[in-house]
Amino acid sequence: MQFSDLDLNKTYTYADYLKWTFDERLELIKGKIFPMSPAPAEIHQRISTVVANELYNNLKGKPCRVYSAPFDVRLMRKSKKDKEIATVLQPDICVICDLNNIDDRGCIGAPDIVVEILSPGNNKKELQNKYEVYEEAGVKEYWIINPYGKTFLKYILDENGQFQSTKLLTLGDEVTSSILPKFTLNLDEVFAD
């Protein structure tokens, strides 16, 4: 099967996703196919490496783990059965503290923290489509990094299951997390050239 054989108007599941053998990378959001960019820009990869390294160093000896894309995150509504999972994402970075959510195929259920780095052309997918499914799934913190505007926005899940945004952060600011009490991310280092 080729990517061009797929009907982009059809709804698919994780069971379908597992059968595909083509090279194109994609994500499923509520059963709909969202193609991914061929390869992220250098600035995207540089920022991803800095953030993942800071998280990794902070998590040493703690029960949480950090993963970088490509790493499948399967968000289910009711069942963990492959044929009933309609959302499969590959966040740029995710932190998972409930190790029961990790299996040999990735993460099943909501990570505690999801980090997405914007690329030209993916803003709607990251800011609207993924926002909705991350909120519905119960992701505790959703971080959005804009490398071109040098900004950082964090959404925190409140007690009613709704995301609340923090103020927009930029150069000179530091990011903290209630999930990782001793974690600090210096945005001057994240956005350094």
pLDDT tens for residues 11-21?
999 999 999 98
- SS3 of 102-166: the string is EECCEEECCCCEEEEECCCCCHHHHHHHHHHHHHHHCCCEEEEEECCCCEEEEEEECCCCCEEEC
Q: Are 129 and 34 in contact (CB under 8 A)?
A: yes
pLDDT digits (tens, 9 = 90+) for 172-191: 999 999 999 899 999 999 99
Look-up of token digits 């927009």: 168
Cis bond before residue 120 (omega within 30° of 0): no
**What structural domains does the chain harbor?**
3-190 (3.90.1570.10)
Place of tokens 């920022």: 47
pTM: 0.92
Question: Which residues contact residue 127 at a Cβ distance below 8 angstroms, ignoring those fewer than 6 apart?
Answer: 118, 144
Summarize pLDDT for 129-173 with one digit per residue, the tens: 899 999 999 999 999 999 999 999 999 999 999 999 999 999 999
Q: In 10 A of CB 64, how many CB atoms?
A: 17
Are 138 and 34 spatial neighbours (Cβ–Cβ below 8 Å)? no
Q: What whole-number distance in Å separates Cα of residue 156 and Cα of residue 120?
A: 25
Which residue, among 126, 129, 134, has the nearest Cα to 161 in the 3D structure?
Answer: 134
